[in-house]
Amino acid sequence: MNWRQYVKKYGLIEWPYPVRYGEEREIEADVLVLGGGIAGCWAAISAARKGLKVVLVEKGATVKSGSGGSGCDHWLNTPHPGTDVTAEEIVGWELEMTEGYCNALSRYIAARESYETLLEMEQMGGVIRDLKDEFKGAPFRDEKTKFLFAYDYKSRIHFRVRGSTFKVALHKECKRLGVKILDRVMATGLLTEGGRNGARVVGATGLHCRTGEFFIFKARAVVNGLSRHQRNWCFSTEIRGNANFRPTQIVGDGHAMSWRAGAEFTMMEKSLPTSFASGNVFQPYSHGNGINTWVPCTMVDANGKEIPWVDRDGRILKTVEERCMPAPGQRFMGERTQGYTHKRPELIPDLEERIRKGEYTLPLYADLTGMPEHERRVIWGLMVGEEGKTRVPVYIYYNEAGFDPARDLLQSYMFLGGDPMRGSVRPQDRTGGEIGDAGGLVTDWNLMTNLEGYFAAGDALFAANYHYHAAATGRYAGRKAAEYAEKTKFSPIDRKQVARERRWVYRPLENRDELEWKELNAAACRIMQNYCGEYKNEELLKLALISLRELQEQDAPRVCVDNPHKLMRTLEVYNILTCNEMIVHASMARKASSQILGFTRLDYPELDPPEWKKWILLRNEEGSIKTRDLPLDFWKPLKENYEKNR
Amino acid sequence: MSEEKIYAFPNGCTPGNPVTFDPEICNGCNLCVDACQVDVLIPNPVKGKPPLVLFPEECWYAGCCEGICPRPGAIQIHLPLPQRVRWKRKDTGEHFRVSR
């Protein structure tokens, strides 16, 4: 029954939870973890294992929340005893793919600790092996360990896992270790020593999204596991759930509050075209394709004619198994196909042209029927079934609706409407954070930011991505935060700062009742599409700042807030506006264009000139923007730095 | 013509129906309400009755509600109409659509 049906039958409903606007709760923690996704849970667990008092604050429900909450089908980039590929080589692949715009520091930490992390996941109850021998004898299985691998059956650095078991296990472990979990609490601001911008972080504030209660957290160390910015260019006021690759409530709360406190960010100028968030796309992995979760699926055209797979040199591959084997002379293959050295096979790159010429007839289909049985079952079952969002709405429901992968061809929407994997519908539909690597917080080798006592993990870090990385960096940041907390005293929190934060949280309750938060979000996106979109120049960027401020000053106070849930959604949009400002400032600071960053400045058209191949770091110092540069390879030497700090 | 009251309702949103409950199977335990990370559902004011979908267009379609539900069949998720996928039976050429 939806709300309307209920109202017709019984009349209007009062808000179902007690409303406690203005009531305060003060909580103390040795280590405070913001965000209860993959990174946050791992940080909490690793700090709690050191015997410290840990508090975990999560806007949703820790048992299932975050991008990896509903599942994960692969655990990537992991050196282990069964492969000779090294952590250095794995980071080398990432660096090649991103032309150096990669957080090699956090990727290296992840590569070095990913296997240990995975084994710990198993000890907690995550299923990472083929214990039931469902894939006995398959070329992607190691018979001794019963591990299953993806993408590259020779080098075996990408694990296939049953990730739908992970989050529940992490949640259980948090509880077992005595982590105090506060679900439905949105972290709203950081508290700093003396209330000063740029000072040590000594706590945080929060809002209960059901009751409206205000939280004050006092901590010796704080870990940010709050993911990244989203919905900056692109926002569908309707069909939002399917349109967002990451959960709809990931908006950049952590980025915005860190920015207000004076934390340093980089790569925020990056944006890429995407059809995600437009409202046109299909549920990820819910239709046939030959991309990540579906690799190495056979694709056919409307007449059943097979589309060839080719290796990095364009050699046509004759068997299904060859699609997962390195090319002659190739050391190993990455999960994605950018860059030549570690490129894995893919469908013929000129497919679109050949369709135009009539060689293939639309629509295309994923054809699992003729594949080796173990491949069919591992794609339709393990991969589609364990990946985030696929288990219930795709795997279980399609089966119940009668889809049989041994008899049926699943339609592909490649070259039709709304395929998320084929770039953008419109050039102004962009993302900085929806998919791939995005801008974020800069840290040292302890994963501590420039604000002392404030650590970051997972997608809160700049140029971060993937489940394995969130898990391994969360675990590392939790450890480091605990070490820091052990030798640090509590600092008094600044009551004036608390009052300011409280004011920010509750001010929307005084708003006029004229707009909904969605309209404000859509307007914020339109500003970015107009003035900070595919083409940028100084004049456009200035207009972007003017327009964003106008929206904040004139229109934000018109957003109606009926209940605590809508207050939370409204504060989210305020945070989106802050992230948009960060993006514009970062775009102003980079006075050159860049292919890899998807960054076109009409007034500085030269693409990736050598003097601009660097990180530009930005922070907000009491409202004025401070920038500094770092060389792209500031993290080197990787091995020595990691071993000195771990 | 029926005597049913006609109400002044605003337009609803899309999708209007991401989650439905079978009132025969659901016992209103509200585990799903607390597992939904987006907080789409609220408890039914009547104890023991299925939750209400208050914020349908916020649904992320992760299936966390059904994943945690102890009573099979109590919850059904429905992909939005524009996102229903088709398939074809290879040997007969018949076309189907995900229809729930």
CB within 8 Å: A61 and B35: yes
pLDDT at residue A279, as a whole number: 77
Nearest by CB to residue A411, choosing from B7, B54, B88, is B88
Average model confidence (pLDDT) for chain A? 95
CA distances for A553 relative to A256, A520, B58, angstroms:
17, 12, 26
Q: How far A632 CA lies from chain B's nearest CA (Å)?
A: 36
- For A271-280, A299-308, A309-318, which range has the lowest pLDDT when averaged over its residues? A271-280
CA A78, CA A157: separation in Å to the nearest integer?
A: 5
Judge whether B17 is closer than 8 Å to chain A, CB to CB: yes
Judge whether A562 is closer than 8 Å to chain B, CB to CB: no
Is the predicted pLDDT of residue A214 greater than 60, yes or no?
Answer: yes
B57 in Cβ contact with A239 (< 8 Å):
yes
Judge whether A16 is closer than 8 Å to chain B, CB to CB: yes
Taking CB atoms and an 8 Å cutoff, what residues of chain A touch B68? 63-64
Stretch 270-309 of chain A: residues touching chain B, C-beta under 8 Å: 280-283, 286-287, 304
Taking CB atoms and an 8 Å cutoff, what residues of chain B touch A247? 37-38, 60, 62
A465 in Cβ contact with A68 (< 8 Å):
no
Our separate counts of H helices and E strands in chain A read 17, 21
For residue A421, name the pLDDT band (cuts at 50, 70, 90).
low
For residue A418, name the pLDDT band (cuts at 50, 70, 90).
low
CA A398, CA A631: separation in Å to the nearest integer?
A: 50
Nearest residue to A579 via CA among A232, A324, A110, A91: A232
By CB neighbour count within 10 A (0-12 exposed, 13-18 middle, 19+ buried), where does B93 fall?
exposed
Judge whether B98 is closer than 8 Å to chain A, CB to CB: yes
How remote is the C-alpha of A214 from its chain's centroid? 27
For residue A420, name the pLDDT band (cuts at 50, 70, 90).
low
Judge whether A80 is closer than 8 Å to chain B, CB to CB: no
Nearest residue to A107 via CA among A644, A645, A643, A642: A642
Stretch 30-49 of chain B: residues touching chain A, C-beta under 8 Å: 34-39, 42-45
Pick from B9, B30, B60, B68 the residue to mutate for testing the A interface (most A CBs within 10 Å). Answer: B60
- Amino acid making up residue A64: K
A467 in Cβ contact with A162 (< 8 Å):
no
Judge whether A392 is closer than 8 Å to chain B, CB to CB: yes
**3-state DSSP helix/strand/coil percent for chain B, to nearest 5?**
15, 15, 65
Mean pLDDT by 10 residues, chain B (100 residues): 82 91 97 96 95 94 93 94 92 91
Instruction: For chain B, state the CA radius of gyration.
Output: 17
- Amino acid making up residue A253: D
Judge whether B11 is closer than 8 Å to chain A, CB to CB: no
Judge whether B86 is closer than 8 Å to chain A, CB to CB: yes
**How far from each other are the two terminal CA atoms of chain B, in whole angstroms?**
31
A388 in Cβ contact with B62 (< 8 Å):
yes
- DSSP H or E run through A214: strand A214-224
For A247, the token pair is: 């959960």
Is the predicted pLDDT of residue A435 greater than 90, yes or no?
Answer: no
CA A308, CA A505: separation in Å to the nearest integer?
A: 56
CB within 8 Å: B15 and A393: no
- DSSP H or E run through A577: helix A564-589
Nearest by CB to residue B60, choosing from A183, A184, A244, is A244
- For A2-6, A108-112, A127-131, A302-306, which range has the lowest pLDDT when averaged over its residues? A2-6
* Residue ranges with strand state E in A5-94: 24-34, 54-58, 74-75
Is the predicted pLDDT of residue A262 greater than 80, yes or no?
Answer: yes
Question: What is residue A149's three-state secondary structure?
Answer: strand
A243 in Cβ contact with A278 (< 8 Å):
yes
pLDDT at residue B1, as a whole number: 63
Is the predicted pLDDT of residue A482 greater than 60, yes or no?
Answer: yes
Torsion of CA A312, A318, A320, A321, to 10 degrees: -70
Handedness of CA A202, A505, A230, A590 (dihedral sign): negative
CA B89, CA A628: separation in Å to the nearest integer?
A: 60
Is the predicted pLDDT of residue A419 greater than 70, yes or no?
Answer: no
Nearest residue to A437 via CA among A470, A390, A477: A470
CA A632, CA A608: separation in Å to the nearest integer?
A: 13
For A430, the token pair is: 């962009």
Nearest residue to A161 via CA among A553, A468, A442, A542: A468
Taking CB atoms and an 8 Å cutoff, what residues of chain A touch B57? 237-241
Nearest residue to A451 via CA among A202, A110, A104, A167: A202
- DSSP H or E run through A408: strand A408-411
pLDDT at residue A147, as a whole number: 98
Nearest residue to A57 via CA among A196, A199, A219, A195: A219
pLDDT at residue A244, as a whole number: 80
Token pair 């039914």 is found at: B44
Provide the β-strand partners of residue A115: none
Is the predicted pLDDT of residue A423 greater than 70, yes or no?
Answer: no
For residue A338, name the pLDDT band (cuts at 50, 70, 90).
confident
CA A593, CA A607: separation in Å to the nearest integer?
A: 5
For A422, the token pair is: 């084929």
Nearest by CB to residue B85, choosing from A8, A164, A282, is A282
- What is the longest distance spanned by two Cα atoms in chain B? 52
Nearest by CB to residue B60, choosing from A14, A248, A304, is A248
Return the DSSP state at A557: G
Residue A8 φ/ψ, nearest 5 degrees: -60, -40
- Amino acid making up residue A197: N
**3-state DSSP helix/strand/coil percent for chain A, to nearest 5?**
35, 20, 45
Judge whether B27 is closer than 8 Å to chain A, CB to CB: no
Is the predicted pLDDT of residue A114 greater than 90, yes or no?
Answer: yes
pLDDT at residue A424, as a whole number: 52
CB within 8 Å: B60 and A63: no
Q: How far B63 CA lies from chain A's nearest CA (Å)?
A: 5
- For A78-87, A110-119, A216-225, A268-277, which range has the lowest pLDDT when averaged over its residues? A268-277
What is the secondary structure of A481-527 as a DSSP string?
A: HHHHHHT-------HHHHHHHHHHHHGGGG--SSB-HHHHHHHHHHH
CA A469, CA A482: separation in Å to the nearest integer?
A: 20
A564 in Cβ contact with A22 (< 8 Å):
no
CA distances for B55 relative to A20, A170, A241, B19, angstroms:
21, 28, 11, 11
Token pair 């600790």 is found at: A113
Q: What is the pLDDT of residues A527-583, one digit of tens each?
A: 999 999 999 999 999 999 999 999 999 999 999 999 999 999 999 999 999 999 999
Nearest by CB to residue A409, choosing from B17, B66, B90, is B90
Stretch 190-249 of chain A: residues touching chain B, C-beta under 8 Å: 209-210, 237-242, 244, 247-249
Our separate counts of H helices and E strands in chain B read 2, 6
Residue of B nearest to A68 (CA): B62
